[in-house]
Chains A and B, each alone.
Chain A
Amino acid sequence: MSRLTVYPTLDEYESRLPDFAKRLEVINADKLKKMARVWVGKDAAKLNKDSAIQLLKRSFRDPKAIRQLADNLTPVERDGLMLMKLRGRSVVYTEELATELLLLHPITPDRKSGYHSSGKQYGRLNEMMERGLLMRCDGSNSIFGDSHYSYSDSCEAVGAVADFFGVIDLTPPPSLSLKPVTDVVAPVARHTGELLLELTSFAQAFDRLGSVQIIGKGLYANPSLAKLYKLLDWNRQDEDSRAPSLLPSVEFYLGLFLAADLLKVDYVARKITTNPRRNIPLTLEQPLTIQARLWAQSYRALRRWVECVPPGVYFYADEITGQTRFNGLRAALLLALGLLPDPNQWYRITDLSDILRLRIGRQFALGHVPSYYVPWKATPEQEAQALAKYEKEYLTNWQSREQVWIEQALCGSLFHLGLVELASDAKDKSGQQTLFRLTEAGRAALYDIFRQPVATDGQSSPARPSEQACWIVQPNFEVLVYLDQASPRQLGFIERIGQRQKADAAIVTYRLTRESVYVALEEGVETNGLLQTLESCSLHPLPPGVSRTLSDWAARRERLTVRLDASVLEFADAAARDAALTAGKIKGTAIGERFLLTNKTEQELKRAAPFGGTISYEPQPPRSLIVQDDGKILITQHDLLIAGELSAFAEPTGNPMFWQVTRASVLAARDRGWTASDIINRISHRTTLAPPPFLQYAIHAWCGNKTAPGPTTIATPPLLQTSTAEVAEAICKCTFLRPHLLARIGGCAVLIKPESVKTLGKLLAEYGFAIGKEVLLPAPESPEKKK
């Protein structure tokens, strides 16, 4: 039984949404009335269970009721549905929505029940579930955080019970109260081209690798990772899951592409492959402002990779789990970046961390959320003291865990994805990067989404921005690419046809080689397109030598074709083939005198014309040989290849159905590089039974193998045979007979010294043994005994 847990993608959750209406039957009347109240207001109190169910079922499908519902929604509900609309999906990851709602609508701790926090981060989400607007995707009707171990009843995704998106407007939530910083020094921004280059090169490296294996625990298999790192020429980080993750990292990009649905996990084959329903090159050719939204969403849902694991935070580094609190905090951080007062201003990372702490920190933490209970019978002073102690612990915990993570997320992954730029505060003498600001891509992906909604899936194809010349092709086949001028499409093209030599923030150098051009042509780049694009994007005309050589390379490829999985129709003669072609019953390309390369199936051919049958050569060609001890080979069934295969190590005879393995044929094969094992394997591949052992030894011997069959001797020492093994045993143990014996061979036979034949015979006769001269053969088994 596989331990691999399947974690569906949002696409899969969406396509397999449970029927929420059916699940109403098992909900009690009070809860149903509460749900009905959302739709019909106070009239819900008059409903019984059945009528409430009928009302809800009707309402889920009634566009008019859904429109009316918009007036009855609470701000939490409206925001919750708006956050789902922003994602463009009727399902959302639980951790993400729960934390985002908490950020928009913080819950004030209730002092009477203490600052107990178990499962409270789901508070706002549960409100929506109790009001019947959302339901869990796992079929359960319980709310989140209901049990003591909140993870034990976790469900990765929740879905909306009806199509609310038409009645929900996108309105930016109130901005966070953050103070901008004006004294900024040494701002650093990631070069757009650098990021695009990494995304493109990762996609192409994955394409070349074909797939990435996953192990039983759902993690990426090390050999696949190593191959990808090698293909990309990236440095692999030491295996310390708690240390901050260095970028670029294959694990990060694999997670990102998986979360973006560009790759998919095949849980049966235990490998990750390209998602055939997505077009990676098209996605990567989008302008970065459009791509950024996809990458931001994917980063939020990223699995199998974390920015860092702060001390005191428990993380299953050795096993893939569903969405975790890291995803929740990423969602809150990204939403907070969308709620900055001014997207063009610089802000302190610590200020952003404080805002997050104040809004979500009482209920949410990456690790343990400290709880506070009012001490029993405490005086007001003691109570204040206990509260102060709790507050101190709470603040320290946040600063050493969540704040560390937030700094790492901003300075690491979000900077790397080009969503934020970093700078130092002029007043801070340490020179550390403590300030951040949204980049243009960050603004488009995080801030503008509430204001200027755009297509969500990154697959749409807006007008392609005009491209400018961005590289220089040198006579030595080096191509210098200016990253600031290169479009995503141009980067994808050059990455495909050239071998990257070196890259810095501004210029990347590629070399056009016969191999790289060949791989590009094999991947579908057209020869004309290759030359045209190379020319049109070049700042100078292509050197004549380069274009001539590229054309030569392309033409050279046309000289030789390997056709895989081909079907060939064999006719009796050229006339029969040509007649079939002329009649138009069979289509294909004529090969030689009497063959036809066809792409028709067996069924199609059967319908078209008289048909003699099919011989398949893969995965196993016909086993049509009978091989005898003496090396004679009989072909029992004609096929296209058997004669050619036999000719490598056997000699033909007058009859085409018979061949002979001889010393000469084996020696000739050996001279051509065949080994005895090669010959035996080739014969075995075509016979039903293994080749006779004697012939196998002969082939080994002819090939000069010293150990098999090994030395043999034909000698004539006298043999003493007895009727039973016991008699032979007695003779062998006899002290005065033993000097005349050589060796015992088998139970009833002993070799004796030639010079002792007479002496031994006399001795045995003297002791009463009857000595004969005939060889004692074992009696044949009777038929009854056989039975």
Chain B
Amino acid sequence: MKKSKTTSASIAATTQTAPLAPAKAALPAPLLHTHLTLVETAEPELLEELLADRRVGPLLVARLSDCVAVVAPGNAKEVQRWLLKAGHTPRIVDEKQ
């Protein structure tokens, strides 16, 4: 993986809002991201609702589409627990089984 050699001196102090969508990197070839926990909703509104939730929202760290978000590593169990506690009944799919 190519590492950036930019120094801290070039950091610009801007205050724009951070996007939840992952930054587009120049990808000459597809990159495989493994061992991810995804939250997938039937409607975009439901995902918005989850992102706005004080408990679950901070644990969703990337949004891949209107209906799919990625859970912060190591927080899959916590997200499941919070979803159940919040009255959701998520279908749990273990992709490796």
Q: Does A111 contact B (CB under 8 A)?
A: no
Q: Does A599 contact B (CB under 8 A)?
A: yes
Considering the chains assembled together, what is the distance between the CA atoms of A632 and B13 in angstroms?
9
User: CB distance A560 to B30 under 8 Å?
Assistant: no
Interface bin, chain A: 35 or more
Considering the chains assembled together, what is the distance between the CA atoms of A596 and B65 in angstroms?
11
Contact status of A652 and B38, CB under 8 A, knowing A602-B32, A641-B70: no
15 A-B contacts, Cβ less than 8 Å apart? A522-B92, A558-B91, A562-B71, A565-B37, A566-B37, A570-B30, A592-B68, A594-B24, A596-B30, A614-B34, A632-B11, A640-B70, A646-B18, A647-B20, A655-B11
Partner of A562, one of B14, B54, B93: B93
Q: Does A605 contact B (CB under 8 A)?
A: yes
User: CB distance B18 to A566 under 8 Å?
Assistant: no
Query: Would you list which residues of chain B between 23 and 58 have a CB under 8 Å from chain A?
Result: 23-43, 46, 54-55, 57-58
User: CB distance B80 to A567 under 8 Å?
Assistant: no
Q: B residues within 8 A CB of A594?
A: 24
Q: Does A163 contact B (CB under 8 A)?
A: no
User: CB distance B91 to A562 under 8 Å?
Assistant: yes
Stretch at the interface among A287-295, A406-414, A656-664, A741-749: A656-664
Hey, which bits of chain B sit against chain A, CB under 8 A?
1, 3-4, 6, 8, 10-20, 22-43, 46, 54-55, 57-58, 60-66, 68, 70-74, 76, 79-80, 83, 88-96
Considering the chains assembled together, what is the distance between the CA atoms of A635 and B12 in angstroms?
14
Q: A residues within 8 A CB of B76?
A: 562, 564
A610-629 interface code vs B (CB 8 A; 1 in, 0 out): 11111111111100000010
User: CB distance B46 to A559 under 8 Å?
Assistant: yes
User: CB distance B91 to A571 under 8 Å?
Assistant: no
Q: B residues within 8 A CB of A645?
A: 61, 72
Q: Does A771 contact B (CB under 8 A)?
A: no
* Min CB gap A579→B, angstroms: 11
Partner of B91, one of A560, A605, A630: A560
Q: B residues within 8 A CB of A613?
A: 1, 31-32
User: CB distance A658 to B12 under 8 Å?
Assistant: yes
Partner of A651, one of B14, B40, B73: B14
**A565, A605, A647, A672: most-surrounded residue (chain B CB, <10 A):** A565
Contact status of A566 and B1, CB under 8 A, knowing A613-B31, A648-B58, A660-B13: no
User: CB distance B10 to A658 under 8 Å?
Assistant: yes
Considering the chains assembled together, what is the distance between the CA atoms of A565 and B76 in angstroms?
10
Q: B residues within 8 A CB of A599?
A: 95
User: CB distance B36 to A611 under 8 Å?
Assistant: no
Q: Which A residue's beta carbon lies closest to that of B68?
A: A591
Q: Which A residue's beta carbon lies closest to that of B20?
A: A644
User: CB distance A591 to B64 under 8 Å?
Assistant: yes
Considering the chains assembled together, what is the distance between the CA atoms of A628 and B10 in angstroms?
13
Q: A residues within 8 A CB of B68?
A: 591-592, 595
Q: A residues within 8 A CB of B93?
A: 561-564
Contact status of A647 and B19, CB under 8 A, knowing A559-B41, A567-B95: yes
User: CB distance B37 to A562 under 8 Å?
Assistant: yes
Q: A residues within 8 A CB of B90?
A: 557, 560-562
User: CB distance A658 to B36 under 8 Å?
Assistant: no
Q: A residues within 8 A CB of B14?
A: 651-654
Q: Does A556 contact B (CB under 8 A)?
A: yes
User: CB distance A643 to B22 under 8 Å?
Assistant: yes
Q: How many A-B residue pairs have CB under 8 A?
A: 257
User: CB distance B33 to A639 under 8 Å?
Assistant: yes
* Min CB gap B17→A, angstroms: 8
Considering the chains assembled together, what is the distance between the CA atoms of A632 and B20 in angstroms?
20
Q: B residues within 8 A CB of A562?
A: 37-40, 71, 76, 79-80, 83, 90-93
Contact status of A655 and B10, CB under 8 A, knowing A591-B68, A644-B62: yes
User: CB distance B6 to A614 under 8 Å?
Assistant: no
Contact status of A651 and B15, CB under 8 A, knowing A559-B41, A568-B64: yes
Q: B residues within 8 A CB of A595?
A: 64-65, 68
Contact status of A644 and B70, CB under 8 A, knowing A566-B37, A634-B6: yes
User: CB distance A674 to B32 under 8 Å?
Assistant: no
User: CB distance B91 to A561 under 8 Å?
Assistant: yes
Known: A563-B36, A570-B33. 5 other contacts (CB 8 A): A563-B37, A605-B30, A610-B29, A644-B61, A674-B58
* Min CB gap A659→B, angstroms: 8
Q: A residues within 8 A CB of B92?
A: 522, 561-562, 564
Considering the chains assembled together, what is the distance between the CA atoms of A563 and B69 in angstroms?
10
Q: A residues within 8 A CB of B8?
A: 628, 630, 632, 634, 658
Partner of A653, one of B12, B54, B70, B96: B12
**B3, B30, B71, B83: most-surrounded residue (chain A CB, <10 A):** B30
Q: B residues within 8 A CB of A609?
A: 29-30
Give 3 closest A-B pairs by Cβ, nearest first. Answer: A647-B18, A592-B65, A644-B61
Contact status of A567 and B33, CB under 8 A, knowing A572-B26, A592-B68: yes
